[in-house]
Amino acid sequence: MMASPHPGASGSKPSPTLLNLLDDTAFRDAVDAALERTAHGRPGALLHLDIARASDIQTACGEDGLAALRDLLFAIVYNQLGPAPPIAARPPGALALLLPDVLPADAVVLAKRLRGSLDKGTFTWHGHPFRLGAHIGLVELGPDPRQPEAWIRRAQEACAAAQELGGSGIQMMARSDHAWNDLEREREWHKHLTEVI
């Protein structure tokens, strides 16, 4: 898995339209609609994916290299999930993906596929290889609170926890407050152990 200095030259680069790439406002609207569906018993999940080496790639390769990394990331998402999920890009190398009507167990399977593709991959820019990797946070959507921003923050927090806690690199959170309290206790315990060591 590699990116060339001209990632679109091969013609394999998916277009933002094909990928359902949305701006922040449209993405929040899509999350809001998914939250409404959960009030009627439909499942849904929100995924936040953060490329582990994105800042290093931005520093070493500049904005053109970072754009090529995003193109590679879009191609991986398209290859694994197809064009359907609404996506919002987050700088420097993160994505938020909405998975409406997807059960939590199926969302974990999709997250593992994405992470597996990234863990096996290398991003190459002008002859300089960068091993890729990702941290992924997943949240099961629920009708309360009916605030898209709150759920987007929860997915980001779950992603940060995946990075802090290590392990599989994927942190799945149920929609209950109890699950969030458990996560916070685990993060505090992990932080305490790190300080002691």
* Tens place of pLDDT per residue across the chain (197 aa): 444 333 333 345 555 556 889 999 999 999 999 999 999 999 999 999 999 889 889 999 999 999 999 999 998 899 888 877 899 998 888 999 999 999 999 999 999 999 999 988 889 999 989 988 899 999 999 999 999 999 999 999 999 999 887 766 899 988 765 554 555 555 454 454 445 55
Q: CA-CA distances (angstroms) from residue 49 to 79, 126, 173, 185, 193?
A: 16, 25, 14, 23, 26
Q: What is the pLDDT of residue 40?
A: 95
How many Å apart are CA 110 and CA 3, to the nearest integer?
23
Cis, bond preceding 7 (omega within 30 deg of 0): no
Structural domains in the chain plus CATH codes: 16-196 (3.30.70.270)
How many Å apart are CA 151 and CA 137, to the nearest integer?
11
Q: What is the pLDDT of residue 167?
A: 60
Buried-exposed string 93-129: b where 16+ CB fall within 10 A, e elsewhere? bbbbbbbbebebeebbebbeebbebbeebebbbeeee
